[in-house]
A = this chain, B = another copy of it.
Amino acid sequence: MSGERPTLADVARRAGVSPSTASLALNDSGPVSAATRVRVEAAAQELGYAGPDPRARSLRRGRSGIVGVVLEDSLRDAFRDPMNVLMLDGIADVTGPAGNSLLLITERAGGPSSLVDAPIDAVVLFGCSPRVDDKVAVVRRRGLPIVSIEGEPADGVVDVGLDNREATRALAQHLRDLGHRDVALVTLELDRERRHRLLTPDLIGRATTYTAVERMKGAFEVFPEARGFATLGSTIDEGLVAGRELLADTAHRPTAIIGQSDLLATGVIRAAAELGLRVPDDLSVVGFDGVRVDDPAADGLTTMVQPAIAKGQAAGRAVLGLLAGEEVPSVSFTSEFRRGRTTASPAASASAGSAARA
């Protein structure tokens, strides 16, 4: 350790030129004689100059080259959902080559808020609710461009959306067309209370998670009376819990279940298997996302395929556009229906059950 890191001034002194010239030589950003350039480069080499201090450069340039990615949950929870990872990867696909790295920002209660502090040039909101959220206010005050992914429409926020409502409506309609009448929902987390429980009108009314709410609305358009279970998020385990709960009452068992993600749907299928129910003969199950799930139970799942990576890339492009001062429109992606082998017409016995109840 030579103690202090050499600066551009050190290099210039050693090369016997002014700092300005050294800067031009090293950055190739102005006319410099070959001889001078060689001398400066040699000096930099000898001193072990590691390039300009990014802090100084970013102050001078007004850019840090860092994009903040704001996640609601702990990293652990956020990355458990493969969609989030894919979207993050999509963002990096675009921002990385443009010289921007991603800063992870999770807002834990208490502690310093990096949303206020961090040297970021822009922000991408992940699974947040921009409208409700005071995070947006903070960022807006700083004058940073904001991009949200599947965010509730909010002023000054460019959104990368998904047809959550319409897509879920299509799934529900698919079930209805097959003859299902008694359908239950398994939702993503509806609020930040970290409790999973049966859906109640009260709970629905207070739900804050935009994506989950939109998907729920789509289902209700077709099955206004649907029961449901709100989970803690997109995992197979949560789907299993939900499935057990919804399928427990044999006298009042739905003939189909709409999972708000493929992982949840996979868990439901496991629950069905536990109870000796065959899918799709005794129970139809649909998911959402179209992600590859490492589980045989997920094979041939009927679902809506969403373009997660493309969404991330779009968010990345939106960030770059805003940073370039362009007018950037919100965009909305469309999911694609994928018919699998987990949906069929309800069994006669189920219909009989309904009839008996009537």
| Chain A residues in the interface with B (C-beta under 8 A) | 1, 5, 48, 50-51, 53-56, 58-59, 62, 64-66, 74-76, 79-80, 85-86, 88-89, 92, 96-97, 99, 101-106, 108, 110-112, 114, 116-120, 138, 141-143, 235-237, 263, 267, 270, 294-296
**Are A102 and B99 interface neighbours, CB within 8 A?**
no
Chain B: minimal CB distance from A176 (Å): 31
Residue of B nearest to A267 (CB): B294
**Are B119 and A64 interface neighbours, CB within 8 A?**
yes
**Are B236 and A294 interface neighbours, CB within 8 A?**
yes
19 pairs across A/B with beta carbons < 8 Å?
Answer: A5-B142, A50-B116, A50-B141, A53-B59, A54-B119, A55-B58, A55-B59, A55-B62, A55-B64, A55-B119, A56-B59, A65-B118, A65-B119, A66-B103, A75-B85, A76-B85, A79-B79, A96-B114, A101-B104
CA distance A270 to B270 in the complex (A): 16
Chain B: minimal CB distance from A262 (Å): 12
Residues of chain B within 8 A of A56, CB atoms compared: 59
Residues of chain B within 8 A of A120, CB atoms compared: 54
Closest 5 interchain pairs by CB?
A54-B119, A236-B294, A101-B114, A76-B89, A99-B112
Residues of chain B within 8 A of A263, CB atoms compared: 294
Residue of B nearest to A116 (CB): B51
CA distance A65 to B89 in the complex (A): 24
Chain B: minimal CB distance from A270 (Å): 7
Residue of B nearest to A86 (CB): B76
Chain B: minimal CB distance from A78 (Å): 9
CA distance A110 to B114 in the complex (A): 30
CA distance A80 to B58 in the complex (A): 33
**Are A118 and B101 interface neighbours, CB within 8 A?**
yes
Residue of B nearest to A238 (CB): B294
Chain B: minimal CB distance from A155 (Å): 12
CA distance A116 to B55 in the complex (A): 12
**Are B294 and A235 interface neighbours, CB within 8 A?**
yes
**Are A104 and B92 interface neighbours, CB within 8 A?**
yes
Residues of chain B within 8 A of A50, CB atoms compared: 116, 138, 141-143
Chain B: minimal CB distance from A317 (Å): 16
Residues of chain B within 8 A of A270, CB atoms compared: 296
CA distance A294 to B261 in the complex (A): 15
Chain B: minimal CB distance from A82 (Å): 8
A65 in complex: contacting residue of B79, B97, B117, B236, CB < 8 Å:
B117
**Are A119 and B58 interface neighbours, CB within 8 A?**
yes
Residues of chain B within 8 A of A267, CB atoms compared: 294
CA distance A270 to B294 in the complex (A): 11
Known A-B contacts A85-B75, A97-B111; the reply to A54 vs B102 at CB < 8 A is no
Residues of chain B within 8 A of A65, CB atoms compared: 114, 117-119
Residue of B nearest to A80 (CB): B85
Residues of chain B within 8 A of A106, CB atoms compared: 92, 96
CA distance A282 to B134 in the complex (A): 58
Residue of B nearest to A237 (CB): B294
CA distance A104 to B119 in the complex (A): 14
**Are B75 and A89 interface neighbours, CB within 8 A?**
yes
Output the residue of A103, A267, A270 with the most chain B CB within 10 A. Answer: A103
**Are B54 and A117 interface neighbours, CB within 8 A?**
yes
Chain B: minimal CB distance from A298 (Å): 11
